[in-house]
Structure 1
Amino acid sequence: MITYPTLSSGATIGITAPSSGVRPNLHELLRQACEKMEQKGYHIVCGETVWTQHKAKSSPAKKRAEEFNGMMSNDQIDIIIPPWGGELLIEILEYLDIENFKTKWVLGYSDVSLLLLAITLKTGMATAHGTNIIDLRGEYSDATTAMWETVLSTNRGGTVLQHSSEKYQQKWRHDEPSPCVYHLTEETYWKTISGKKETVEGRLLGGCIDVIRHLIGTPFGDVQSFRETYIKDEPVLWYLENCELNTADVRRSLVHMKLAGWFENCSGILFGRSSAGFPVEDYTIEDVYVELAEELEVPIIYDIDCGHRPPQLTFINGAYAKVTTEGGKGEVLQIFK
Structure 2
Amino acid sequence: MIRYPILDEKATIGITAPSSGIPKEMHGMLESAIQNLKDEGYSVVSGDTAWTQEKAKSASARKRAEEFNEMMRDESIGLIFPPWGGELLIETLEYIDFDNIRGKWILGYSDISFLLLAITLNRGIATAHGTGLIDLRGEESDETTGKWKAVLSNKEGDTVIQYSSEKYQEDWDYDNSTPHIFILTEETYWKTVSGHEEKLEGRLLGGCMDAIRHLIGTSFGDVESFKENHIPDEPILWYLENCEMSVVELRRTLVHMKLAGWFKDASAIMFGRSSSDMPVEGYTVEDVYQELSEELGIPIVYDIDCGHMPPQITLINGAYAEVEVKGGKGVVSQTFR
TM-score normalised according to structure 2 size: 0.99
**What displacement does 1:177 show?**
2.5
CA distance in 1, matches of 2:79, 2:41: 14
State the SS of the aligned residue for 1:4: coil
User: 1:251 maps to which residue?
Assistant: 251
User: 2:39 maps to which residue?
Assistant: 39
CA distance in 2, matches of 1:41, 1:263: 42
Task: Confirm or deny: 8 A CA contact 1:74 1:102 kept in the other structure.
Answer: no
Q: For residues 275-322 of structure 1, give each alpha carbon's deviation from its aligned partner in whole angstroms, at most 9, with x where no partner exists.
A: 112222111111100000000010000000000000000000000000
**What displacement does 1:76 show?**
1.2
> Given the alignment of the two structures, is residue 109 of structure 1 paired with residue 109 of structure 2, yes or no?
yes
How much identity, in percent, do the aligned residues show?
Answer: 64
CA distance in 1, matches of 2:56, 2:173: 23
> Given the alignment of the two structures, is residue 143 of structure 1 paired with residue 125 of structure 2, yes or no?
no
State the SS of the aligned residue for 2:145: coil
Q: For residues 29-52 of structure 1, give each alpha carbon's deviation from its aligned partner in whole angstroms, at most 9, with x where no partner exists.
A: 000000000000000000000111
User: 2:153 maps to which residue?
Assistant: 153
What code does the residue aligned with 2:161 have?
A: L
Unaligned runs of 5+ in 2: none
Q: How does 1:63-142 map to 2 (within 5 A)?
A: 63-142=63-142
What code does the residue aligned with 1:86 have?
A: G
What code does the residue aligned with 1:242 have?
A: N
What code does the residue aligned with 2:167 have?
A: K
What code does the residue aligned with 1:167 have?
A: K
What code does the residue aligned with 1:223 have?
A: V
User: 1:302 maps to which residue?
Assistant: 302
User: 1:206 maps to which residue?
Assistant: 206
CA distance in 1, matches of 2:280, 2:68: 39
> Given the alignment of the two structures, is residue 240 of structure 1 paired with residue 240 of structure 2, yes or no?
yes
State the SS of the aligned residue for 1:151: helix
Q: For residues 132-176 of structure 1, give each alpha carbon's deviation from its aligned partner in whole angstroms, at most 9, with x where no partner exists.
A: 110011111000001100000000000000000000001112221
User: 1:230 maps to which residue?
Assistant: 230
> Given the alignment of the two structures, is residue 286 of structure 1 paired with residue 323 of structure 2, yes or no?
no
State the SS of the aligned residue for 2:45: strand
What code does the residue aligned with 1:14 have?
A: G
Q: Find runs of 4+ consecutive structure 1 residues off by over 4 angstroms.
A: none
RMSD: 0.5
State the SS of the aligned residue for 1:111: helix
Task: Confirm or deny: 8 A CA contact 2:101 2:123 kept in the other structure.
Answer: no
What code does the residue aligned with 1:117 have?
A: L
Task: Confirm or deny: 8 A CA contact 1:245 1:278 kept in the other structure.
Answer: no
Is 167-176 or 2-11 further displaced after alignment?
Answer: 167-176
CA distance in 2, matches of 1:172, 1:246: 19
User: 2:15 maps to which residue?
Assistant: 15
CA distance in 2, matches of 1:114, 1:285: 24
User: 1:51 maps to which residue?
Assistant: 51
User: 2:183 maps to which residue?
Assistant: 183
CA distance in 1, matches of 2:258, 2:277: 19
User: 1:162 maps to which residue?
Assistant: 162
State the SS of the aligned residue for 2:220: coil
Task: Confirm or deny: 8 A CA contact 2:14 2:47 kept in the other structure.
Answer: yes
> Given the alignment of the two structures, is residue 192 of structure 1 paired with residue 188 of structure 2, yes or no?
no
State the SS of the aligned residue for 2:174: coil
What code does the residue aligned with 2:262 have?
A: W
State the SS of the aligned residue for 1:13: strand
CA distance in 2, matches of 1:84, 1:70: 19
TM-score normalised according to structure 1 size: 0.99
CA distance in 1, matches of 2:103, 2:329: 34
CA distance in 2, matches of 1:221, 1:277: 26
Task: Confirm or deny: 8 A CA contact 1:197 1:326 kept in the other structure.
Answer: yes
**For this pair of structures, how many residues does the alignment match?**
337
User: 1:275 maps to which residue?
Assistant: 275
**What displacement does 1:13 show?**
0.4
State the SS of the aligned residue for 2:221: coil
CA distance in 2, matches of 1:124, 1:326: 32
CA distance in 2, matches of 1:171, 1:10: 34
